[in-house]
Amino acid sequence: MFFNEWNILVVDDEPDVLAVTRLALRDVKVYGLPVKIHTARSKAEAVELLKGPLSLQGSSEPIVAVALVDVVMESDHAGLELCKYIRDEARGHSVQLFIRTGQPGVAPERSVIDEYDISGYFTKVELSEQKLYTLVKTGVRQWFTSWYALMTEESTNNIVTHSGSRKDFLENGIGWFGEPGPQEGEGVTGFIFDRDLIVSDYPDQIRPLYDRLNSIPPVIQTADGHKLAMDEMGNLLVRTVKTRTTADYVYVGESSMVMPRLLLDLTFKSGLVFSTLWKKITDEEKRMASGKPAPRKIRSKPDLKKTAKSVKKAVAGKTGRKPVKKITKAASGKKR
């Protein structure tokens, strides 16, 4: 589910710095997944990486968790130009950008912090192996939280856009980014609507995965019976039951990481949105097929009386005078 490793971009024109950084981060793991170091010796090389190996089909930004960028490379401000490129052109708004410079006088910390959207500024002398470990590990956590929230929002917007019919919802609304069809090394993911309708590239594996995850104690559960369950590997189940506003809906997904509670809450709420939209679409299509008219919202008599009283009170104001005749008739429903 999502990733098997975290991409770290290190940009520096000194080969020794690249080698030492790679060595210092060799054993770093975040949420149980290792980091993968990508190195570039110039702004131009870094841009090529961002356009190629560090891009992902369907994602709106490069798949880079943390970037460590030197300032002075092919030019005195090449690193700063790269930071601007990542934010503005590559749309890497979640990437945790850290300036790491050996010449702080060329780009003073305060001016860089004020003018560029970066996450931190360090000299090469002060960034020890332990600090580098801490910076990368916390940076990856922050990036994944931001990236996952953006991805969930994009997914929600997509299903809302394609919520005109069940066909459009299934074919275009719940499609995942990346290559269609089963992929090597990809985890099993899928949806079950109304108990029998399975939507997945792995239809034969969905039921067994659902049965196993559905039998373990939930991490999140509501009074209505909706729940989220996660096993020790991080495999997820979101299930909602049929109520007045939600459908019988299931999402299951294999994962190589255990997500933090904040992201589990976000996943659960996203599942409620999917379920609610499916219920509305299904109810509307059933109504249209039966030829029944759309239900009309009729205000009760107490509401009408309350409204009439409010109108009279508003017109009378604080003077205690009765409202004019036309307002009284309008409130009472009589013809003028």
CATH number at residue 22: 3.40.50.2300
Overall average pLDDT of the 210-226 stretch: 97
Give the per-residue pLDDT at 245.
97
Residue type, 292: K
Overall average pLDDT of the 265-276 stretch: 97
Task: Say whether both 94 and 26 belong to one domain.
Answer: yes
Give the per-residue pLDDT at 323.
40
38-82 pLDDT, tens digit per residue, is 999 999 999 999 999 998 776 778 999 999 999 999 999 999 999
Is residue 23 a contact partner of residue 83, using CB atoms and an 8 Å limit?
no
Helices 15-24 + 129-161 axis angle, to 10: 80
Task: Say whether both 142 and 262 belong to one domain.
Answer: no
Domain count, the chain: 3
Task: Say whether both 14 and 128 belong to one domain.
Answer: yes
Confirm whether 154 is domain-assigned.
Answer: no
Overall average pLDDT of the 210-236 stretch: 97
Smallest CA-to-CA distance from 268 within 280, 253, 281 is with 253
Confirm whether 157 is domain-assigned.
Answer: no
Is residue 10 a contact partner of residue 21, using CB atoms and an 8 Å limit?
yes
Of the candidates 146, 176, 203, which is a domain's last residue?
Answer: 146
Task: Say whether both 243 and 326 belong to one domain.
Answer: no
Is residue 249 a contact partner of residue 271, using CB atoms and an 8 Å limit?
yes
Q: Residue 201 pLDDT more than 70?
A: yes
Overall average pLDDT of the 296-305 stretch: 53
Give the per-residue pLDDT at 312.
52
Give the per-residue pLDDT at 217.
98
Confirm whether 71 is domain-assigned.
Answer: yes
Structure confidence at residue 179 as a pLDDT band (50, 70, 90)? low
Overall average pLDDT of the 242-247 stretch: 97
Task: Say whether both 168 and 116 belong to one domain.
Answer: no
- Dihedrals φ, ψ of 107, to 5°? -135, 85
Confirm whether 151 is domain-assigned.
Answer: no
Overall average pLDDT of the 269-290 stretch: 96
Give the per-residue pLDDT at 268.
98
Task: Say whether both 28 and 85 belong to one domain.
Answer: yes
126-168 pLDDT, tens digit per residue, is 888 999 999 999 999 999 999 999 889 989 999 999 999 999 9
Overall average pLDDT of the 89-94 stretch: 93
Q: Residue 309 pLDDT more than 50?
A: yes
Structure confidence at residue 293 as a pLDDT band (50, 70, 90)? confident
Structure confidence at residue 110 as a pLDDT band (50, 70, 90)? confident
Confirm whether 61 is domain-assigned.
Answer: yes
Task: Say whether both 15 and 121 belong to one domain.
Answer: yes
Question: Encoding tokens for residue 271?
Answer: 């599942």
Per the model's pLDDT, the better-predicted residue between 211 and 181 turns out to be 211
Mean pLDDT of the chain: 86
Burial degree of 318 (CB within 10 A; 0-12, 13-18, 19+)? exposed
Task: Say whether both 207 and 252 belong to one domain.
Answer: yes
Task: Say whether both 282 and 311 belong to one domain.
Answer: no
Confirm whether 159 is domain-assigned.
Answer: no
Give the least confident one: 52-66, 96-110, 176-190. 176-190
Task: Say whether both 16 and 129 belong to one domain.
Answer: yes
Overall average pLDDT of the 315-335 stretch: 42
Rounded Cα gap, residues 274 and 174, in angstroms: 9
Three-class SS of the chain: CCCCCEEEEEECCCHHHHHHHHHHCCCCEECCEEEEEEEECCHHHHHHHHHCCCCCCCCCCCCCCEEEECCCCCCCCHHHHHHHHHHHHCCCCCCEEEEEECCCCCCCHHHHHHHCCCCEEEECCCCCHHHHHHHHHHHHHHHHHHHHHHHHHHHHHHHHHCCCCHHHHHHHHCCCCCCCCCCCCCCCEEEEECCCEEECCCHHHHHHHHHHHHCCCCCEECCCCCEEEECCCCCEEEEECCCCCCCCEEEEECCCCCCCHHHHHHHHHHHHHHHHHHHHHHHHHHHHHHCCCCCCCCCCHHHHHHHHHHHHHHHHHHHCCCCCHHHHHHHHCCCC
Measured CA angle at 109 (ends 74, 141), to 5 deg: 90
Domain that holds residue 74: 6-146
Rounded Cα gap, residues 181 and 178, in angstroms: 9
Please, which residues have CB within 8 angstroms of residue 213's CB and are 6 or more apart in sequence? 229, 230, 231, 235, 236, 237, 252
Task: Say whether both 123 and 233 belong to one domain.
Answer: no
Q: pTM here? A: 0.80
Q: Residue 326 pLDDT more than 80?
A: no
Per the model's pLDDT, the better-predicted residue between 105 and 319 turns out to be 105
Give the per-residue pLDDT at 291.
83
Task: Say whether both 109 and 241 belong to one domain.
Answer: no
19-30 pLDDT, tens digit per residue, is 999 999 999 999
Q: 235-249, 283-297, 309-323 — which one is most confidently predicted on average?
A: 235-249
CATH code: domain of residue 190: 3.30.450
Is residue 56 a contact partner of residue 177, using CB atoms and an 8 Å limit?
yes
Give the per-residue pLDDT at 180.
66
Confirm whether 232 is domain-assigned.
Answer: yes
Q: Residue 310 pLDDT more than 60?
A: no
Confirm whether 124 is domain-assigned.
Answer: yes
